[in-house]
Structure 1
């Protein structure tokens, strides 16, 4: 079951939380519900990815990306992700989803989602790569073009070693996947 009611809450409360600017964090308080758990009574591994969607959507709503994309026939698309589970999130436990756009290079945007427990420790971290797809021209856009369309002048920082390794691994896995076609 998808997280529709949580997504609706993120959409409705976006204006109150203000416009998202590059370099900032999206912070969404959450609680592990019965619909989120597996047989070990902790947050299901697949649910982490669904909850990470909320952080991305919050940024898409509040940055103006969705409005800009719809007007131009574009769409943000997730390319891949890597997750590391560090600590469990138990049933009824409160936590915060902290989402950031870390950097971008060419057509790739690197995002990060941290699941932060009440005591400040990280329960899990997800790195994502994605881009903005131009459906009319059937290609991914250079991220600089997307940022300019959104009147964003925040320059990207160079990717860290971990981000470079993630991008290379993702590209290698994409290449491998296409060999099965």
Structure 2
């Protein structure tokens, strides 16, 4: 139930955090709860992904993508992710999840979710690739189409070398999965 409570809190308070513009960040504060931990008494690796989802959903609400997706029959879809764990988040520790849309190229959007301890240190970093699927047209949209439909005037920066490596790795792994392993 706590996952839904966190999601509901994020949805209900999204407006108070203001409109999301490309280049902005979503900053959500959490505390590591007993239901979040594993046998090592720190944040379970699956919780990082769930909390990154909430950061993405905050961006979707604040950018207007949730209402636009409902209207147009679109579905934001996560393609893949890569995570690095640097420091543990122990039980009861406060931390923030700082989420951003880093850039996009074609149909791929690169997102970043940094888990920041109350000391200011990074605990983990999650890089994601995602896109928006048009159910009616049965295709993944060029992200420039999504930005234009949102009424935004934004130009993506070129992907960094690390982002290009991530995108290529994701494409290769996806091709392998489609072939059956």
Same fold per TM (> 0.5)?
Answer: yes
Aligned positions of 1:88-167 closer than 5 A: 88-167=88-167
Flag structure 2 segments of 5+ consecutive residues without an equivalent: none
Structure 1 CA distance, aligned partners of 2:160 and 2:121? 22
- How many residues align structurally? 181
Aligned positions of 1:10-159 closer than 5 A: 10-159=10-159
Flag structure 1 segments of 5+ consecutive residues without an equivalent: none
Structure 2 CA distance, aligned partners of 1:3 and 1:173? 29
Moved segments of 4+, more than 2 Å? none
Please report the TM-score for the alignment, with normalisation by the length of structure 1.
Answer: 0.98
Residue of structure 2 in register with 1:178 after alignment: 178
Structure 1 CA distance, aligned partners of 2:175 and 2:158? 24
1:2 is displaced (CA, Å) by 6.8
| Contact 1:2-1:50 at 8 Å conserved across structures | no
1:80 is displaced (CA, Å) by 0.3
Please report the TM-score for the alignment, with normalisation by the length of structure 2.
Answer: 0.98
Q: Secondary structure of 1:3's partner?
A: helix
Structure 2 CA distance, aligned partners of 1:27 and 1:40? 26
